Structure 1
Amino acid sequence: MRINICGVKIDKYSFDEVIQLIVKHALSQSKPEYVVTPNAMHVLTLQKDANFQEIYRKAFLVVPDGVSLLWAAKFLQTPLKGRVNGTDLFEKLCAIAAEKGLKVFLLGGRPGSAEKAKETLVARHPALQIVGTYCPPYGFESMPTELNSINSTITAAAPHILFVGLGAPKQEKWIAANYLYLGVPISVGIGVSFELVSNMVTRSPVLMQKAGLEWLFRLLVEPGRLWKRYVLGNPAFILLVLKQRLGLFNSLSQNLDCANSNESAHKVK
């Protein structure tokens, strides 16, 4: 079952249920699928990006990473079962992968973060098979030779789960463009999780996580990079949710048409 938050359909599964579904699919090694982990920023981006919308429609699972989505769902009287935080998902899946003999590949992150995350996770779970890590150069998505090299490296490693930390929507767009060719059972976009697991970026205290204030901690730690997302993005998201509650929300396609019209008008000026 999926609920609707500002036109985005989100799966109503608990964290444990999501883990079970992903592990089951990875073990079955059936057709490749991918998982997206939306937060408020994703919802805002989806209002004006048709390609991103299509990627979401085809996802195996759409799970609520941002606590703002839990608040919105409750306010809209369609509560979710809980948060499925991308970093927690990454760590738990790696723990189970060690138990089940599933192979894992880490793609993306800041230089050195995937390798440091590997070291941290293998220290915790010695049986964990991380069969590759790679940090592509900036702008790699427009470099055919680099793209071919990445695909060849991943297919040769043959992981069961591919974790991609390129930031949204880049990571989702790369996954959607490549997952069928790669043949990896499950691909998951996880943002800055490599940095958090490796302690290259400090994660908020557990009490702040439980209180839904992890976003505030991240803003304080990296204000230059994140101020637009939270200071401008959060009010815009709240406005969208209010419109939905009042029955004033346009469909994603209508919002996209509006965004394109505004862009065209701006270009004419």
Structure 2
Amino acid sequence: MKITIGGAKIDKYSFDEVVERIVEHSLSGGLPEYVVTPNAQHILTLQKDTYFREIYDKAFLSVPDGVPLLWAAKILKTPLKGRVNGTDLFERLSCVAAEKGLRVFLLGGRPGAADKASEILRARHPNIKIVGTYCPAYGFESKPTELALINSKIQAAAPHILFVGLGAPKQEYWIYNNYQKLGVPISVGIGVSFELVAGMVQRAPLWMQKRGLEWLFRLIVEPKRLWQRYVIGNPRFIWLIFRQRLAVSRLNWRSF
């Protein structure tokens, strides 16, 4: 079952249910699919980006990465089962992949991030099968030779799960344009998760994560890069949810 937040359809699965569905599909060798992890910024992006909206509409799973989506769901009286954070998902799937013998590939991140994350994951899970890592050169999306190289590396490695850390919406664009030809059962866009696992970017304390303040921590750590996203974006997201709630209330009133 799905709910709608700002035009995006979000799956009402718990974290464990999401992991289970991804692992089952990966083990079954089913047709290639992909997973998106929406947050408030993603919801705002798809308001004006019809291609991004199309990508979201066709996703195998769309899971709530940000706590603001949980708040929005409550305001809209369609509560979700909980947060499915992209970094937590990356780490849990890596753990289960080691247990089940699933092959994984790490694509993207800052230079050295995927390799460092791979090193840390191998230390945690000696049986994990990380069959490749690759950090594309800046501007790779406009270079046919680089795009072909990326695809050839992934196809040769034949992973069950492909983790893509290119940032949104670039990672979603790339996944959507390539997932079928790659033949990987599951591709997941996970943003800065390689950097977080590698310790290259500091993650918010657990108490801030639980209270939905991870955005504030990131703003404090990287103000120049993120101020516009949060200082301008957060009020826009609140207004979007308020308008949706108002529209639902009016519809209910008319039907009454």
Report the TM range for the smaller structure's normalisation: over 0.9
How many Å separate the matches in 2 of 1:210 and 1:237?
20
Where 2:48 maps in the other structure, the secondary structure is coil
1:132 maps onto 2:132 in alignment: yes
Deviations 1:144-170 (A, max 9, x none): 000000000000000000000000000
- Measured on the aligned residues, the alpha-carbon RMSD in Å equals 1.0
Letter in 2 for 1:222: E
Letter in 2 for 1:229: R
Query: How do 1:108-187 and structure 2 match up within 5 A?
Result: 108-187=108-187
Identity of counterpart residues, as a percentage?
Answer: 74
Letter in 2 for 1:233: G
- Name the structure 2 match of 1:13: 13
- Name the structure 1 match of 2:46: 46
Structure 1: unaligned runs, 5 residues or longer: 250-269
How many Å separate the matches in 2 of 1:30 and 1:3?
25
TM-score relative to the length of structure 2: 0.96
Where 1:180 maps in the other structure, the secondary structure is helix
How many Å separate the matches in 1 of 2:31 and 2:248?
39
How many Å separate the matches in 2 of 1:54 and 1:240?
19
Letter in 2 for 1:160: H
**Offset at 1:110?**
0.4
- Name the structure 2 match of 1:35: 35
Where 2:188 maps in the other structure, the secondary structure is strand
Letter in 2 for 1:19: V
- Name the structure 1 match of 2:254: none
How many Å separate the matches in 2 of 1:88 and 1:248?
33
How many Å separate the matches in 2 of 1:70 and 1:185?
28
Structure 2: unaligned runs, 5 residues or longer: 250-256
Deviations 1:40-86 (A, max 9, x none): 00000000111111111110000000111000000110000000000
Letter in 2 for 1:65: D
How many Å separate the matches in 1 of 2:197 and 2:46?
28
**Offset at 1:39?**
0.3
How many residues align? The count is: 249
- Name the structure 2 match of 1:199: 199
TM-score relative to the length of structure 1: 0.91
Query: How do 1:67-146 and structure 2 match up within 5 A?
Result: 67-146=67-146
- Name the structure 2 match of 1:217: 217
Where 1:168 maps in the other structure, the secondary structure is coil
How many Å separate the matches in 2 of 1:168 and 1:199?
21
- Name the structure 1 match of 2:252: none
How many Å separate the matches in 2 of 1:50 and 1:206?
35
Letter in 2 for 1:93: L
- Name the structure 2 match of 1:63: 63
1:237 maps onto 2:237 in alignment: yes
How many Å separate the matches in 2 of 1:23 and 1:159?
13
Where 2:131 maps in the other structure, the secondary structure is strand
Where 2:127 maps in the other structure, the secondary structure is coil
How many Å separate the matches in 2 of 1:221 and 1:147?
32
Where 1:80 maps in the other structure, the secondary structure is coil
Deviations 1:68-125 (A, max 9, x none): 1000000110000000000000000000000000000000000000000000111000
User: Structure 1 runs of 4+ off > 4 angstroms?
Assistant: none
**Offset at 1:248?**
8.1
Letter in 2 for 1:209: Q
